[in-house]
Amino acid sequence: MKRFIIYFGIMFFMLFCKSAIFSQNIKIDKVVIDAGHGGRDPGAVGKNCYEKDIALKIALKTGHYIEKNLTDVEVIYTRKTDKSVKLSKRAQIANEKNADLFISIHCNANKSSKIYGTETYIMGLHKSKANLEVAKIENAAILKEEDVFDSYEGFDPNSDEAYIMFSLYQDEYQEGSINIASKVQKQFKERVGLKDRSVLQAGFWVLYKTAMPGILIETGYLSNPKDEKYLISEKGQTYIASAIYRAFKEYKQEMEQFAHNENGSVNYEYHENVANKENIQKKNTTNNKNNVIKNSIVYKVQFTTCAKELKTGSPEFKGMKNVESYFHKGVYKYTVGNKNSIDEANKLKKIIRKKGFKNAFVIAFQNNERISLKKAKRLVRK
């Protein structure tokens, strides 16, 4: 217990809020495909199959589609046969290979045979008892390993208390994880016709230790006869793998275009969080349409994100004033500055990076709606 309290304290200072979510890779060219469980760990058990076997078949099919159709992408497998791989080793493989994305493939189970459908998880604190139970089941794989206490820092996958540490965890790749997770669920629903049980979050050790965007896909419930029949079938495995591949392809194209457009995106819900706002001194303008457009564009520097809303003067802001936030898909994104030109914003970005937020980047808003920098430049040139 004492060790856990010490670890809890360390986590509070080191992991509560990391800076700037987006990895600014220009290319998404390395993906880790992780088939859950394996070897002496069967995972969920259906009437006619084991999770480890279904997960492996879908993982290999997914990797094959990527290798065949996206030749610039290196696919890295945590296992290609029925063998045991430690959860810590799976994350280590992804980190050592400097992968751009981690996809862990699983099947679910429940005491009720009526529950069915697909879920995709990202790393975070569970918001329901059901989510916690899913995490417990998947994390229980470590109990089949040796030297569990030392390898997993005393983490007990069966203890509710142990999951408290995940409430202090802020994944710097959370937005990327949400992005790919949403695409997977959309493909499952719209292209395959599977029940969409949403994008969820919970404390999965394998995601907790990966230094990149990562998701854990529950492809269906082996406890549900219909889901199990589909998951066992060649058709079901092919369709599910194809859906994951299509989601990855869309994610790759979007992220590479996003980097090309200097971190631009559109249609973000925006709100201001802090009462002390920076006063914007607007330049004298004429009444012509072009100047109205130009002066409606504001450049800000995004420097950090948190799953929880932070108060004015929070130590995570390192003394910065006039902090604002906008909210998107359950994540608060914090910014400073309301600059009238991108040059001014880039100067501010350098200052913010010197304060320790090394991945801070410039974003643009028009009438309180985030727009791409490419669009902002185009409007200014008019």
pLDDT at residue 274 in the model: 27
256 with 26: CB under 8 angstroms?
yes
Q: Which amino acid is at 177?
A: S
CATH 3.55.40.20 is the classification of domain 2-260: no
Report the distance separating Cα 145 and Cα 151, nearest Å.
9
Report the distance separating Cα 113 and Cα 224, nearest Å.
5
Residue boundaries of the structural domains of the chain: 2-260, 289-381
pLDDT at residue 157 in the model: 55
**% of the chain surpassing 90 pLDDT:** 37
pLDDT at residue 160 in the model: 56
The string of DSSP codes covering 251-316 is HHHHHHHHHHTTS-----------SSPPPP-PPP--SSHHHHHHHTEEEEEEEEEESSPPPTT-GG
Q: Which amino acid is at 178?
A: I
pLDDT average, residue stretch 352-374: 82
pLDDT tens digits along 123-153: 766 554 555 566 665 655 555 555 544 455 5
Band of residue 275 on the pLDDT scale cut at 50, 70, 90: very low
Specify the range with the lowest mean pLDDT, choosing from 33-42, 79-88, 271-280, 288-297. 271-280
Q: pTM score, two decimals?
A: 0.60
pLDDT average, residue stretch 199-226: 86
Report the distance separating Cα 50 and Cα 48, nearest Å.
7
The separation between the first and the last C-alpha atoms of the chain, rounded to the nearest angstrom, is 64
* 13 vs 178: which has the higher pLDDT: 178
pLDDT tens digits along 184-194: 999 999 999 99
